[in-house]
């Protein structure tokens, strides 16, 4: 089976689905001739032409807003936001139109499209090329939020997203765009939205993670084996709708919970997971739920290594919770 990286998996999913479905239109800044600043849309312009791979003016609200129009009209647009940090001018379009169109029209209209955006830190991007702002979208009813962590899941989840009936915010962990490689079959396969994956089985502690942090969780879990800890790592893959069964199953098994994300701690998605566990499985908990997260600061430049969770912080959290 071919081994490819995450950015290639994005490209492959788009290319294959565009061949199958002429309703798919890619649009965004520099996605055409340039192939996108991360090369996720490389070659699509040459294969599908300027009417299907549209280089747009530099305006995120225009990109998402016009994509919504195309979707309302029955096309299947895939707008790219160059960095998730740039999505805020389009936030009104996402919250006002994209998320609510089905609901507000009483189901007369729907608005399926996939917003793709590279997100997250670890690339020396400072405030405006590093943010992990998934919680805003999780808090908006009507959106699905999907975050893959491997090339296989990237392709399978992107294909599922392209075929979904609801708007999907598809966040790509750019720190590992090229760093993580894996086997990905050519051709069609899907990974279902709303299903988590047990990335590593264990009985002592459950770590819930997604995106680039999944790999940090795996490293931390590996370090903990030296002390004989059996750490389970659950890759959430979809934040909305959350695979609550997978979360609770793991909690019931281990009774110890660490939630890992690089987004700021306060109001981050970890808070939601912690609350759900407290509501539904508190009897199984042997100790407090620990969040290992980014700090409640803007994303820093020089000190980003200190800001971001890493394997050592995860290991320390494991050791701490094992005292219970």
Partner 1 sequence: MSSESQNILQVILSDGQPEESLDPKLSETELKRIYRAMTLTRAFDIKSLSLQRQGRIGFYAPAAGQEAAQIGSTCALREDDWVLPTYRDAGVAIFRGVPIPLLYAHLLGNSADIMKGRQMPNHWGYRETNFVSIAATIAAHLPVATGIAMGMKYRKEDKVVMALHGDGATSEGDFHSAYNFAGVFKAPVVFICENNGWAISLPSSKQTASHSFAEKAEAYGFGGVRVDGNDVLAVYKASKEAVDRARKGKGPSMVECITYRMGPHSTSDDPNRYRTKEEIEEWKRKDPIERFRSYLENRGIWTKDFGETVSKENDSLIVNSIKEEERVPRPEIRTMFEDVYAEMPWNLKEQMAYEEEEQRGYS
- Tell me the catalytic residues: 129
From the centroid of its chain, how far is CA 311? 20
Return the number of the residue (240 or 257) whose C-beta is nearest partner 1. 240
Answer whether 143's CB lies under 8 Å from 99's CB.
yes
Give the one residue of 7, 44, 87, 101 binding partner 1; rule: CB under 8 A: 101
Cα separations (Å) of 219 from 186, 222, 286, 309?
29, 5, 24, 12
Can residue 324 be called a binding residue for partner 1 (CB under 8 A)?
no
Q: In terms of Cα–Cα distance, which of 154, 219, 161, 207 is closest to 181?
A: 154
Q: Which two tokens stand for residue 190?
A: 């899907």
From the centroid of its chain, how far is CA 165? 18
Least separation in angstroms between residue 57's CB and partner 1 is 6
Can residue 250 be called a binding residue for partner 1 (CB under 8 A)?
no
Within positions 154 to 173, which residues make up the interface with partner 1, using CB under 8 A? 164-166
Give the one residue of 15, 16, 42, 100 binding partner 1; rule: CB under 8 A: 100
Q: In terms of Cα–Cα distance, which of 3, 29, 36 is closest to 14?
A: 36
Least separation in angstroms between residue 126's CB and partner 1 is 24
Answer whether 160's CB lies under 8 Å from 190's CB.
yes
Compute how many residues bind partner 1; rule: CB under 8 A: 48
Within positions 69 to 98, which residues make up the interface with partner 1, using CB under 8 A? 69-75, 77, 89, 92-93, 96-97
Can residue 228 be called a binding residue for partner 1 (CB under 8 A)?
no
Return the number of the residue (216 or 242) whose C-beta is nearest partner 1. 242
Return the number of the residue (7 or 157) whose C-beta is nearest partner 1. 157
Q: Which two tokens stand for residue 15?
A: 């290319």
Least separation in angstroms between residue 65's CB and partner 1 is 2
Lay out the site mask for partner 1 across 117-146 (x = CB under 8 A, - = otherwise). ------------------------xx-x--
Helix axes 244-254, 269-281, angle to 10 degrees: 60
Please name the residue that has the structure tokens 């100790």: 287
Q: Where do runs of H (alpha helix) occur along 203-293?
A: 213-224, 244-254, 269-281
Can residue 237 be called a binding residue for partner 1 (CB under 8 A)?
no
Using alpha carbons only, give the angle 144, 170, 44 rounded to the nearest 5 degrees. Answer: 135
Can residue 109 be called a binding residue for partner 1 (CB under 8 A)?
yes
Can residue 187 be called a binding residue for partner 1 (CB under 8 A)?
no
Answer whether 294's CB lies under 8 Å from 152's CB.
no
Dihedral sign, Cα of residue 235, residue 239, residue 241, residue 245 = positive
Can residue 65 be called a binding residue for partner 1 (CB under 8 A)?
yes
Q: Which two tokens stand for residue 85?
A: 């940090």
Give the one residue of 3, 59, 282, 303 binding partner 1; rule: CB under 8 A: 59
Can residue 44 be called a binding residue for partner 1 (CB under 8 A)?
no
Could you list the residues that contact partner 1 (CB under 8 A)? 25, 51, 54, 56-57, 59, 61-62, 64-75, 77, 89, 92-93, 96-97, 100-110, 141-142, 144, 164-166, 194, 240-242, 244
């Amino acid at each position: 089976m071919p081994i490819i990286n995450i950015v290639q998996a994005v490209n492959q999913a788009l290319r294959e689905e565009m061949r199958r479905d002429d309703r798919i239109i890619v649009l965004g800044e520099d996605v055409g001739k340039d192939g996108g600043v991360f090369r996720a849309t490389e070659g699509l312009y040459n294969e599908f032409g300027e009417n299907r791979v549209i280089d747009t003016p530099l305006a995120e609200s225009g990109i998402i807003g016009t994509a919504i129009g195309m979707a309302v009209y029955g096309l299947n647009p895939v707008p790219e936001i160059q960095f998730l940090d740039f999505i805020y001018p389009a936030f009104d379009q996402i919250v006002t139109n994209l998320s609510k169109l089905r609901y507000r029209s009483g189901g007369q209209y729907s608005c399926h499209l996939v917003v793709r955006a590279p997100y997250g830190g670890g690339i020396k991007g400072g405030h405006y090329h590093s943010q992990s702002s998934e919680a805003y979208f999780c808090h908006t009813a009507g959106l699905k939020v999907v975050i893959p962590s491997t090339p296989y899941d990237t392709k399978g989840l992107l294909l599922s997203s392209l075929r979904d009936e609801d708007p999907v915010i598809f966040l790509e962990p750019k720190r590992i765009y090229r760093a993580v490689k894996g086997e990905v079959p050519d051709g069609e396969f899907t990974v279902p939205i709303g299903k988590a994956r047990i990335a590593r089985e264990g009985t002592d502690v459950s770590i819930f993670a997604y995106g680039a942090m999944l790999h940090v969780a795996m490293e931390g879990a590996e370090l903990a084996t030296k002390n004989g800890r059996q750490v389970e790592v659950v890759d959430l893959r979809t934040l909305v709708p959350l695979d609550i069964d997978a979360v609770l199953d793991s909690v019931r098994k281990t009774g110890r919970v660490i939630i890992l994300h690089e987004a700021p701690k306060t109001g981050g998605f970890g808070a939601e997971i912690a609350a759900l566990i407290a509501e539904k499985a508190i009897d199984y908990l042997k100790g407090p739920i620990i969040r290992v997260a980014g700090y409640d600061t803007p994303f820093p430049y020089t000190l980003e290594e200190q800001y971001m969770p890493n394997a050592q912080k995860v290991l320390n959290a494991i050791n701490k919770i094992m005292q219970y």
